[in-house]
Amino acid sequence: MTDQLHDTAVRGFASDNYSGVHPEVLAAIAAANGGHQVAYGEDVYTERLQEVFARHFGDGVEVFPVFNGTGANVTGLQSMLPRWGAVISASTAHINSDEGGAPERVGGIKLLTVPTPDGKLTPELIDREAWGWGDEHRAQPLVVSITQTTELGTAYSVDEIRAIADHVHERGMKLHLDGARLSNAAASLGLPLRAFTRDAGVDLLSFGGTKNGALGAEAIVVLNPEASEGLKYLRKLNMQLASKMRFVSAQLIALLEGDLWLQSASHANAMARRLRDALDAGIAAGDLPGLGFSQATQSNGVFAVLPDGVADRLREGGFRFYDWDAAKGEVRWMCSFDTSEDDIDAFVAGIREELHRAA
């Protein structure tokens, strides 16, 4: 037995990936253990997973479990594009800013990026890069990728996604969605998963389990089979084909068969809401000098702006979180399925103390 090397009472606001595995997911891994099952996805758990996803997204969807979100994005996008294709995304998209160049270097995909105020593309913003079809000198814009919820904690409405999907399809392109936090989006919108994905015109998505309590379990979900080709082969050549896939699938089943996915995401969102509401109330009362916000809080992340030095002093005091744009004093506070109300209340008190000290 390995010794426990960390203090399990310590939590922070650095990332939803800092959290551990939800106990029900761990139990599902244990339940899938023992005996032999066919490797590489021919097991009974992966078979069941297709049914579970069909319940959420409708008949005819195809699910490809993978290890991580970068692999899901790169592999999914590759399956949507010919060799000469390009992907339009927000400049803040994870595929552009946080995947080490994997879409370009591993996927061989040109990214055409557009700055946005809030991480969300619109038809107008897409049009800045949606041009040049038929010109052999330009990488051909054939896919648009959006992230739901976005890297900036904002959420697209159904109408916004539908407007993007219509715009994209009218121009002969396809719509990809990075859903590393898709469950948080469903919780935020109060809608079933298919309402703002398949039914709104999304062709293929990456479904995130890891940030919502899984242990390296994500999935590529093909919503429109005509929009994707060769995933069976691409997953393997991109090193995302799990031999013991039953354990990846069992985790996604644990999340999605009942409502664990929604409970956990709703809780994470509610904790971010609690943090934002407490700080908004403090600002309204004139009690939090110098604090501002750079984004709406619509999921499990709060994006704040702090006076000089305050972020570092909070971290010295033991609170964990990252700068988002240090030059602007912008920080990101993420909540997880295991963030507690006490964590939030202690953090609010800490922020108040440091803001007063700095004022």
Ligand X SMILES: Cc1ncc(COP(=O)(O)O)c(C=O)c1O
Q: What residues from 264 to 303 belong to the interface with ligand X (CB under 6 A)? A: none
Residue 145 binds to ligand X (criterion: CB under 6 A): no
Q: Which residue is nearest to ligand X (CB)?
A: 69
Alpha carbon 203 to chain centroid, angstroms = 17
Q: How far is the C-alpha of 302 from the C-alpha of 283, rounded, in Å?
A: 15
Site string for ligand X, 46-75 (x = CB under 6 A): ----------------------xxx-----
Cβ(277)–Cβ(344) below 8 Å = no
In the complex, what is the shortest distance from the CB of residue 147 to ligand X, in angstroms, rounded to a whole number?
A: 5
Residue 180 binds to ligand X (criterion: CB under 6 A): yes
In the complex, what is the shortest distance from the CB of residue 175 to ligand X, in angstroms, rounded to a whole number?
A: 16
Closer Cβ to ligand X, 22 or 94, answer by number: 94
Closer Cβ to ligand X, 120 or 291, answer by number: 120
Closer Cβ to ligand X, 69 or 76, answer by number: 69
Q: How far is the C-alpha of 265 from the C-alpha of 271, rounded, in Å?
A: 10
Alpha carbon 136 to chain centroid, angstroms = 34
Residue 151 binds to ligand X (criterion: CB under 6 A): yes
Residue 178 binds to ligand X (criterion: CB under 6 A): yes
**19, 210, 297, 339: residue in contact with ligand X (rule CB under 6 A):** 210
Cβ(176)–Cβ(143) below 8 Å = yes
Closer Cβ to ligand X, 144 or 310, answer by number: 144
Site string for ligand X, 12-51 (x = CB under 6 A): ----------------------------------------
In the complex, what is the shortest distance from the CB of residue 167 to ligand X, in angstroms, rounded to a whole number?
A: 22
Closer Cβ to ligand X, 37 or 68, answer by number: 68
Residue 147 binds to ligand X (criterion: CB under 6 A): yes
Size of the site for ligand X (CB under 6 A): 9
Cβ(174)–Cβ(156) below 8 Å = no
Residues that bind ligand X (CB under 6 A): 68-70, 94, 147, 151, 178, 180, 210
